[in-house]
């Protein structure tokens, strides 16, 4: 028997349940074709080398299995038809596996270790997401407080400007009335003196 590995990239927003459902379907295909599944390695989300279907990240999963080659085509057909799969690649790892039982034991141990790593990674990603949300929340609160302070400062400045404008208007309205009255009183005197001078 030969050992193969099929690596595929799934859309990053796929849920754990959706990814597990896809892996279960792949297990069914391998079993139907007489292949021996060794392990699934879920490597989590990674940045893609280039954008695929407007995605910049993808969830990388690798399936290791033993087969004579019959399972490769149906497995790839399923991945090709699956909308959530962005890319896939199958590679022959070993031309001939001598001790199948020993390889199965090694794969079981490797799968246990990788599952523990995946769990730690998922917990770390959840903590990072929580920290990002808290930071965004704090940033939003501080932004709202800053906006409230700026609005309060604008209102105070507007009040001061309106008070100053009102004082200027009061002062301006008082001054012209006095000058106007003085001018009205002085005009008749000037005209009388002019008239008197003419006589």
SS3 28: helix
| Contact assessment for residue 55 and residue 48, using Cβ atoms and an 8 Å cutoff | yes
Indicate whether 8 belongs to any domain: yes
Higher pLDDT, 157 or 64: 64
Mean pLDDT of the chain: 83
Q: pLDDT for 45-87, tens place per residue? A: 899 999 999 999 999 999 999 998 889 999 999 999 999 999 9
Burial class (CB in 10 A: 0-12, 13-18, 19+), 66: buried
43, HSE (Cβ side, Cα atoms, 13 Å): 13
Give domain status of residue 166, yes or no: no
CA angle 165, 167, 171 (to 5 degrees): 115
Find tokens 């009388």 and name the residue: 192
Q: Note whether residue 136 is domain-resident.
A: no
Strand extents, DSSP E, 26-103 = 36-52, 55-67, 85-94
In a domain, 142, yes or no: no
> Does residue 187 belong to any structural domain of this protein?
no
pLDDT interval class at 199 (50, 70, 90)? very low
Measured CA to CA, the distance from residue 63 to residue 33 in angstroms comes to: 15
CB 9 within 8 A of CB 83: no
Domain that holds residue 94: 2-125
pLDDT digits (tens, 9 = 90+) for 96-130: 888 888 888 888 888 888 888 878 888 888 888 88
Per the structure, how many domains does the chain have? 1
Would 69 be classed as within a structural domain?
Answer: yes
The CATH code of the domain that includes 60 is: 3.30.70.60
pLDDT band at 95 (very low <50, low <70, confident <90, very high): confident
Q: Tokens 């090694």 map to which residue?
A: 106
> In this structure, is residue 49 part of a structural domain?
yes
Within a domain: residue 83?
yes
Write the CB contacts of 8 (distance below 8 Å, at least 6 apart in sequence). 60, 61, 62, 63, 79, 85, 86, 87, 88, 89
CB 71 within 8 A of CB 3: no
């Amino acid at each position: 028997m030969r050992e193969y590995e099929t690596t595929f990239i799934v859309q990053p927003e796929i849920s754990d349940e959706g990814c597990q459902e896809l892996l279960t379907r792949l297990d069914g295909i391998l079993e139907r074709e007489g292949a021996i599944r060794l392990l699934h390695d879920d490597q989590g989300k990674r940045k893609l080398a280039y954008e695929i279907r407007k995605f910049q990240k993808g969830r990388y999963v690798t399936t290791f299995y033993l087969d004579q080659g019959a399972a490769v085509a149906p497995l790839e057909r399923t991945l090709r038809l699956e909308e959530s799969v962005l890319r896939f690649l199958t590679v022959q790892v070993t031309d001939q596996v001598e001790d199948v039982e020993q390889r199965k034991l090694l794969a079981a141990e490797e799968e246990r270790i990788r599952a523990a790593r995946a769990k730690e990674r998922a917990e770390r990603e959840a903590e990072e997401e929580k920290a990002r949300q808290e930071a965004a929340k704090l940033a939003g609160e501080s932004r709202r407080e800053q906006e409230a302070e700026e609005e309060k400062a604008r209102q105070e400045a507007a009040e001061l400007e309106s008070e100053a404008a009102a004082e200027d208007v009061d002062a301006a309205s008082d001054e012209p009335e006095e000058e106007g009255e003085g001018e009205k009183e002085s005009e008749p005197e000037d005209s009388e003196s002019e008239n008197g001078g003419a006589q």
